[in-house]
Copies of this chain bind each other. A is one copy, B any other.
Amino acid sequence: MSVTDELLANNARYVETFTGPLPLPPAKRLAVVACMDARLNVYAILGLNEGEAHVIRNAGGVVTQDEIRSLAISQRLLGTEEIILIHHTDCGMLTFTDDAFKDSVQEDTGIRPPWAAEAFADLDTDVRQSIARIQADPFVVHKDRIRGFVFDVATGKLNEVH
């Protein structure tokens, strides 16, 4: 049995107690941008319930063009107005550089990725970088309530980046 088959059996149990459907627009008018890291259960970390916030996630929790796309749709079509960014300690993105990653991919495939890997050397600095990218973007509407955090994978605590 593949992992996917095992998780589909979990889903069959989830269906038994499921109550829905909830409305489409996020009830708390919030969008969260977080790292894809497996240890970040965003709903649990923030005490979010289903239906309350958009959750956008990628390698690093960084803001690239696709997060701008998602945030623009979230705010313009679905009414969110507040943004939380979450990076975390012990992040994989701290363990390599863009150049080294691209060298390695080029060696393996013969093709150098035309995109940035978005590795970073400092968590707080990259949270600020992500916020700065949103602030500089012309398509995201609401920018007055954006706050960034580093989740501590050892304690579960969100530490704010100032």
Residues on A lying within 8 angstroms of B by beta carbon are 2-4, 7-15, 18, 20-22, 24-31, 36-41, 43-48, 50-59, 64-70, 72-74, 76-78, 82, 84, 90, 92-93, 95-96, 101, 104-105, 109, 111, 113, 115-118, 138-139, 145, 147, 153-158
Report B-chain residues with C-beta under 8 Å of the C-beta of A104: 76
Decide: B67 and A58 in contact? CB cutoff 8 A: yes
Known: A20-B156, A39-B50. 12 other contacts (CB 8 A): A4-B84, A9-B47, A14-B44, A14-B45, A15-B156, A18-B155, A25-B38, A27-B38, A56-B58, A59-B70, A64-B66, A72-B105
Decide: B36 and A31 in contact? CB cutoff 8 A: yes
Q: How far is the CA of A38 from the CA of B29 in the complex (A)?
A: 10
Decide: B7 and A47 in contact? CB cutoff 8 A: yes
